[in-house]
Structure formats: structure tokens, C-alpha cells
């Protein structure tokens, strides 16, 4: 009977992620969650899904024994930062990194993941409960650069739906790509050597989903396909002007309140589209 009780207690400790009762204001010293590991084979799938490379800096929030940032450095050549409040786990992580030969590429911070600075991260990994993921969402959108990636083992992130979901080894991995913020009204100018066209572009954004309308002084045009991924935005205008085909395919790179790219315009009976340079400037949010 004693062995059975111990066995059940071990299962519960392994399977459940429990909230702490830390209510002391200021810097937190007790973790929000107790340590629960992501299996090594799932770690590899998470990093593959994020397409981690030597150019990345991977932050793992609630890094436990350090296995995710260590794998990122050892197997993918990335730099890694583990964020963990448990001193014993920090010590174990340092030991594991030394054994893996990656001490120069990883570091471990004894910090609260709600307050740690994420501006240097290009990939963030998580194995937290949905409520914590949702609470972190505003921080991610504020601090992570467009095109940064977030990978979560098992749980989603509130209203922000993942860009991709992978089933692996009996569990689920979710991926988000941080989109540039393009909501608002834009002044769009299309230029070629002999002609210039001006439009107003109005964009409504809901995370990685955008809706847009394009207009000039004469009319509003039907925008059919829109897409934002990281800093890259693309949209297609497909309409008819006085019964004649009018199509614009636009692709641009967003840089804050500007965007630059190309547009291909096809009008009337011509089978060919003419190429224009495209410049956009946000005039209101």
C-alpha cells in the first residue's frame, strides 16, 4: 500500500503544473509554475518548427534543466538564454550546458519571465499553461521584433491563434510568427518612369489577419487576398473599372510606419502587367 501511494504521488507531481502562492510585491522569488519537462524528442521538433539556425537567439521561459536552450546551441548552432527562478534548476542547467560543451553559447538568468527583457530574442519557447501564455501575449507583441517566432509545447495563447500546429510524439506544438503592426491608414504611391499613381490604403489588423480597402479620388477597389508574415505584406486588388479588368498585386516590406516594395498592375485587355515601385507611408492609426 505504501509503494502505491508513493507511485500515485509521483505521477501527480510529474503531470500537473501548479501555481505558486507567492504574493510578495516586487521581484518574484517563487516560480509561477513548478518544473515539468518537455521530452527531448519534442524539444527537437519545436526547434525544427521554428527553423532555428546559428543566426537565432532562443529564449526559453521557465527553462527548467536548460534542455531547450542547450539543444538550440548544440544541435542548431544558435545562442540560448534560459529564464528560470528556481536556483537549483539554474545550477543543474549550468552543469548540463558544461557537459554538452555549449557554455559559451548559452546563459541562464534567475529572473521572472514576466519582467525579463525579450528584445534580443528571435525565438521564444514555452511550456506553460494557457492562462500564462495569454498573460504573456502583450509582452510578446511589445518586445519581440516582427518575424520573431514563438513556439509552445501543448498550449495555445488566448485570442492569438497559431500560424501552424504540429502533432508530434503524442503531443502538440504550436508556432506563431510575430507580425509587423500595419493597422491604420496608409498613403500608397506607385511609380514607374512615365507615371505615378496615388492611393489610400486602409488596414484593419487582428494579429496575423488583416483586412484592407484601397481607394483613390474616384472610387474604392475590391481587395481580395491579404497576407502579413513578419515584415512581409502582400495583397491583391481584383476589380473592374467600366467593365475592364483592373488587377494590382502588391508586395512590400514593412519598416515601422513605412513600407517599400513592388506592384504589378494589369488593366483592360492587355495580358501583361506593368511593374511599379511601391512606397507606403502610414498617415494615421
Least confident window among 101-115, 132-146, 168-182, 260-274: 260-274
Under DSSP, the state recorded for 33 is: B
**Position 238 pLDDT exceeds 60:** yes
What is the CATH class of 184-284?
mainly beta
What's residue 243's pLDDT? 78
At the topology level, CATH places domain 20-177 in Rossmann fold (3.40.50)
For the cut 60, the answer to whether the pLDDT of residue 64 exceeds it is yes
Q: Give pLDDT tens digits for 217-234.
A: 989 998 989 999 999 999
What percent of the chain is predicted at pLDDT more than 90?
A: 80
Residue 241: predicted pLDDT: 77
> Average model confidence (pLDDT) for the chain?
89
Beta-bridge mates of residue 125: 60, 151
**Contact (Cβ atoms closer than 8 angstroms) between residue 218 and residue 228:** no
- Per DSSP bridges, beta strands 258-267 and 244-255 are antiparallel
DSSP 2: H
Domain ranges of the chain: 20-177, 184-284
- Give a three-class secondary structure readout of 126-171: ECCCHHHHHHHHHHHHHHCCCCCEEEEECCCECCECCCEEEEECCE
Burial 233-252 (b: 16+ CB within 10 A, else e): bebbbebeeeeeebbbbbbb
What does the pLDDT average to over 17-24? 36
- Please classify residue 157 by burial: count the beta carbons closer than 10 Å to its beta carbon, then call 0-12 exposed, 13-18 middle and 19+ buried: buried
pTM of model > 0.75: yes
Cell numbers 492587355 label which residue?
Answer: 270
- For the beta sheet containing 164-168, the strands, ordered from the edge strand earlier in sequence to the opposite edge, are 106-109, 79-83, 57-61, 123-126, 149-153, 171-177, 164-168
129-143: b (≥16 Cβ within 10 Å) or e? beebbbebbebbeeb
Average pLDDT, stretch 241-266? 94
Q: Is the pLDDT of residue 255 over 90?
A: yes
Query: Of 27-41, 122-136, 172-186, which gets the smallest average pLDDT?
Result: 27-41
Annotate 219-236 with DSSP letters as a single string. -EE-EEEEEEETTEEEEE
Q: For residues 37 and 89, is the Cβ–Cβ distance under 8 A?
A: no
pLDDT band at 24 (very low <50, low <70, confident <90, very high): very low
pLDDT grade for 32, boundaries at 50, 70 and 90: low
Where helices occur in 164-267 by DSSP H, the ranges are none
Amino acid at each position: 500500500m505504501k509503494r502505491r501511494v508513493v507511485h500515485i504521488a509521483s505521477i501527480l507531481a510529474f503531470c500537473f503544473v501548479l501555481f505558486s502562492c507567492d504574493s510578495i510585491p516586487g521581484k518574484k522569488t517563487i516560480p509561477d509554475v513548478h518544473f515539468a519537462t518537455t521530452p527531448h524528442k519534442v524539444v527537437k521538433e519545436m526547434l525544427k518548427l521554428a527553423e532555428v539556425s546559428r543566426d537565432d537567439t532562443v529564449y526559453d521561459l521557465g527553462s527548467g534543466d536548460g534542455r531547450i536552450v542547450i539543444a538550440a546551441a548544440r544541435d542548431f548552432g544558435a545562442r540560448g538564454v534560459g529564464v528560470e527562478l528556481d536556483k537549483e534548476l539554474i545550477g543543474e542547467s549550468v552543469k548540463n550546458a558544461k557537459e554538452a560543451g555549449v557554455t559559451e553559447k548559452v546563459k541562464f538568468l534567475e529572473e521572472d519571465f514576466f519582467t525579463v527583457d525579450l528584445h534580443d530574442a528571435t525565438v521564444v519557447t514555452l511550456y506553460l499553461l494557457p492562462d500564462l501564455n495569454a498573460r504573456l501575449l502583450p509582452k510578446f507583441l511589445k518586445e519581440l521584433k516582427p518575424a520573431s517566432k514563438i513556439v509552445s509545447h501543448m498550449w495555445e495563447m488566448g485570442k492569438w491563434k497559431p500560424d501552424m500546429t504540429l502533432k508530434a510524439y503524442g503531443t502538440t506544438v504550436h508556432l506563431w510568427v510575430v507580425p509587423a503592426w500595419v493597422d491604420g491608414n496608409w498613403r500608397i504611391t506607385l511609380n514607374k518612369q512615365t507615371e505615378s499613381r496615388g492611393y489610400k490604403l486602409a488596414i484593419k489588423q487582428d494579429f496575423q489577419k488583416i483586412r484592407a480597402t484601397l481607394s483613390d479620388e474616384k472610387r474604392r477597389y475590391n481587395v481580395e487576398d491579404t497576407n502579413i508574415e513578419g515584415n512581409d505584406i502582400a495583397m491583391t486588388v481584383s476589380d473592374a473599372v467600366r467593365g475592364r479588368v483592373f488587377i494590382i498585386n502588391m508586395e512590400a516590406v514593412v519598416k515601422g510606419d513605412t513600407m517599400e516594395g513592388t506592384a504589378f498592375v494589369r488593366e483592360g485587355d492587355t495580358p501583361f502587367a506593368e511593374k511599379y515601385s511601391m512606397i507606403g507611408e502610414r498617415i494615421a492609426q
